[in-house]
Amino acid sequence: RGAVRFENVVFGYDKGATILKGIDLDVPAGTTCAVVGPSGAGKSTLARLMYRFYDVNEGRITIDGQDIAGVTQASLRAAIGIVPQDTVLFNDTIGYNIAYGRAGADQAAIEQAARGAAIAGFIERQADGYATRVGERGLKLSGGEKQRVAIARTLLKDPPLLILDEATSALDSRTEAEIMETLEAIERGRTTIVIAHRLSTIVNADQIVVLEAGRVVERGSHADLLAAG
């Protein structure tokens, strides 16, 4: 589930310049594709097209073979988990922030869902004792911890397709590497698109696509790209 294809996708924002100039992309279900490239290359734009925040001007995008032009934005949002760079947390507990929107208004249910998330997926394995901290207030968290909360919240949805849009780019490289390692360990088999700017963080991606000025200028494995210089 979650296989993504871009076929000659062309896109420009309202009356502006063409941003994506004919993108072809093939992300088989269950694989990880990293998209790297300089700032302004069109990486975030590419991500936004997948959940129809904007529609393509030419070409098409399919998910599991279905042209998304025929799918509502609401159902795409339900099927795609997106983790952005900046997470804004409620001034409430880690548990509340993880479970927000999933567990209803009942505080006990929220805490329950948060514990479930911690044990089933992300937080427990990230750092010893973390699961016991679900009652801690969100604003005391470090940047890395906030992004872990954001990722856990997204994984609770169990989305077939996960998009990390510079989700760890603002963190120091060690914290970023730790989060990526955890994700790789628990998310193997989920179709994942990682938008990043450090090549070092995406060594295990099945494929890496280099975007420059709206075009794919290189694609291959991490080793291929290093060999190509």
Which parts of 55-94 interact with ligand ADP (CB under 6 A)?
77, 88
The answer to whether 46 and 213 have CB atoms below 8 angstroms apart is no
Hey, how many other C-beta atoms are within 10 angstroms of the C-beta on 47? 20
Which parts of 20-39 interact with ligand ADP (CB under 6 A)?
37, 39
Instruction: Give the residue with the Cβ less far from ligand ADP, 83 or 131.
Output: 83
221: CB partners within 8 A, 6+ apart:
205, 206, 207, 208
Q: Which position among 42, 95, 121, 138 is part of the footprint of ligand ADP (CB under 6 A)?
A: 42
List the one residue out of 186, 169, 170 whose CA is nearest residue 126: 186
CB of 57 to ligand ADP, least distance (A): 13
* Residue 2 within binding range of ligand ADP, rule CB under 6 A: no
DSSP 42-85: SHHHHHHHHTTSS--SEEEEEETTEEGGGS-HHHHHHHEEEE-S
- Cα–Cα distance for residue pair 123/104, rounded to 1 Å: 21
Q: Which position among 16, 65, 70, 229 is part of the footprint of ligand ADP (CB under 6 A)?
A: 16
Instruction: Give the residue with the Cβ less far from ligand ADP, 78 or 226.
Output: 78
Instruction: Give the residue with the Cβ less far from ligand ADP, 155 or 171.
Output: 155
Q: Which position among 25, 33, 41, 49 is part of the footprint of ligand ADP (CB under 6 A)?
A: 41
Tokens of 193: 């698109």
List the one residue out of 18, 29, 51, 21 whose CA is nearest residue 165: 51
* Residue 52 within binding range of ligand ADP, rule CB under 6 A: no
Q: Which position among 28, 40, 104, 135 is part of the footprint of ligand ADP (CB under 6 A)?
A: 40
List residues near ligand ADP by CB under 6 A.
13, 16, 19, 37, 39-45, 77, 88, 100-101, 153, 157
